[in-house]
Amino acid sequence: MFLSVRQLDVQYPASARPAVAGVSLDLAAGDIGVLIGPSGCGKTTLLRAVAGLERASQGSIVLAGETVSDGSRHLQPEQRRIGMVFQDYALFPHLDVERNVGFGIARLPRAERQRRVAEVLALVGLDGLQARFPHELSGGQQQRVALARALAPQPRLLLLDEPFSNLDVDLRERLAHEVRGILKAAQATALFVTHDQLEAFAIGDRIGVMHEGHLHQWDDAYALYHRPATRFVAEFIGHGVFTPAQIRLDGGEVSVQTPLGALQDVEECPLPSAYEAGLCDVLLRADDIVHDDDAPVKAQIVRKAFRGSEFLYTLRLASGETIMTHVPSHHNHAVGEWIGIRAEVDHVVTFERGGAAGSPPAVGVPRR
């Protein structure tokens, strides 16, 4: 693996617990890894440790076969050949685009430096803007200049710390797709930090979910969404809630009883023996719940959020449980109204009832 982190701890002197605790991950050459999680979860600290800006208290970091950090070695940031794109871009306001991008390659002969600057500006779609100053550029263009400057020295690894956070929501998702294309075209290996799931899904080959210093899962987006490794990942990724359920074995067939009735035609499901008396919590995401006026189960709309093509309804069942569903926006029901719903669950994700954030799900077995 190009980047290998093993059992990494980062402890700040004034803190009672590590900011990063026992983190291990691998990133292949040419892949883009993304770290997501709530504020204070340790994702930026982990990024800074990889950069060499924070010293690891335990564990190791190996980059391109070279150990850059372990119990006895701490290679300084400038020796790691790592490029960084910061949250505020950190462009020099008194330098034009050409001199900003060429700042890290100032030792190259002038002609070679100009060629490399033109090359990376063309890569990020800003060819011909060498004479512009940062204040003459849009936020998206400034972000691309910062990316070009980080790519110019041809770093072994590129680190990006919430580079889109200062941009509006629509531009952020579009730029995430564009930056992925730029990084792939440059054959760059990158590690990216964000708190935005849409950004993470748009740009990442591998995505890590962090909470309280721990890396709960390092996987692709599909696995994070459909096969969360812990209860925290299940709650953090996507729109979903847990509702009490019971797994039963009736006539050799496994069924999952929920407040919405029995879940039917599921592809896989844990056996009842996975939990005491089969009692568990089942994860129901918004796309598991279908609005159906003819369904026998009714739920009251307690909150709704307009998303353009759809509403995200938060619903309360007569039994008191809360669930969520996506409904096409032409179904414009009022808050307080009761609507029919039914569950369509392909595979069941269950956890110990009331379990801790780090608790794993039971392993499902194929049902068909």
- Three-class DSSP labels, 177-214: HHHHHHHHHCCCCEEEECCCHHHHHHHCCEEEEEECCE
Phi, psi (deg, nearest 5) at residue 177: -65, -40
Q: Assess whether 41 and 169 both reside in one domain.
A: yes
For residue 236, tell me if it sits in a domain: no
Residue 14's Cβ-count burial label (10 Å; 0-12, 13-18, 19+) is exposed
Banded model confidence at residue 365, pLDDT cuts 50, 70, 90: low
- Residue pair 61/9 in contact (Cβ under 8 Å)? The answer is no
Stated as kind and residue range, the H or E segment containing 244 is strand 240-250
Picking from 100-104, 214-218, 356-360, which range would have the lowest pLDDT averaged per residue? 356-360
Q: C-alpha angle 337/345/270, rounded to 5°? A: 130
| Residue 79 CB neighbour total at 10 angstroms | 11
Residue of 281 and 170 predicted with greater confidence: 281
15 pLDDT more than 90? no
Give the mean pLDDT of the chain: 90
User: In this predicted model, what pLDDT tens digit does every residue of 190-241 receive, in sequence order?
Assistant: 999 998 898 999 999 999 999 999 999 999 999 999 889 999 999 899 878 9
Tell me the CA distances in angstroms from 263 to 256, 260, 347, 350, one per residue in order: 5, 8, 10, 12
**pTM greater than 0.75:** yes
Banded model confidence at residue 55, pLDDT cuts 50, 70, 90: very high
103 pLDDT more than 60? yes
User: In this predicted model, what pLDDT tens digit does every residue of 234-275 receive, in sequence order?
Assistant: 989 987 899 999 998 877 788 899 999 888 767 677 888 889
For residue 235, tell me if it sits in a domain: no
Banded model confidence at residue 335, pLDDT cuts 50, 70, 90: very high
Residue 82's nearest CA partner among 154, 152, 155 is 155
367 pLDDT more than 70? no
Domain final position from 200, 226, 252 = 226
pLDDT above 90 as % of the chain: 68
Q: Assess whether 98 and 129 both reside in one domain.
A: yes
190-193 vs 32-36, strand pairing mode: parallel
125 pLDDT more than 80? yes
Residue 285's nearest CA partner among 216, 349, 196 is 349
For residue 51, tell me if it sits in a domain: yes
| CATH number for 181 | 3.40.50.300
For residue 342, tell me if it sits in a domain: yes
Banded model confidence at residue 364, pLDDT cuts 50, 70, 90: low
Q: Assess whether 270 and 337 both reside in one domain.
A: yes
| CATH number for 306 | 2.40.50.140
Picking from 124-138, 151-165, 247-261, which range would have the lowest pLDDT averaged per residue? 247-261
Tell me the CA distances in angstroms from 145 to 120, 133, 238, 303, one per residue in order: 9, 10, 32, 42
167 pLDDT more than 80? no
Domain final position from 226, 256, 290 = 226
- Residue pair 256/269 in contact (Cβ under 8 Å)? The answer is yes
Identify the domain containing residue 334 by its residue range. 241-366
- Residue pair 74/80 in contact (Cβ under 8 Å)? The answer is no
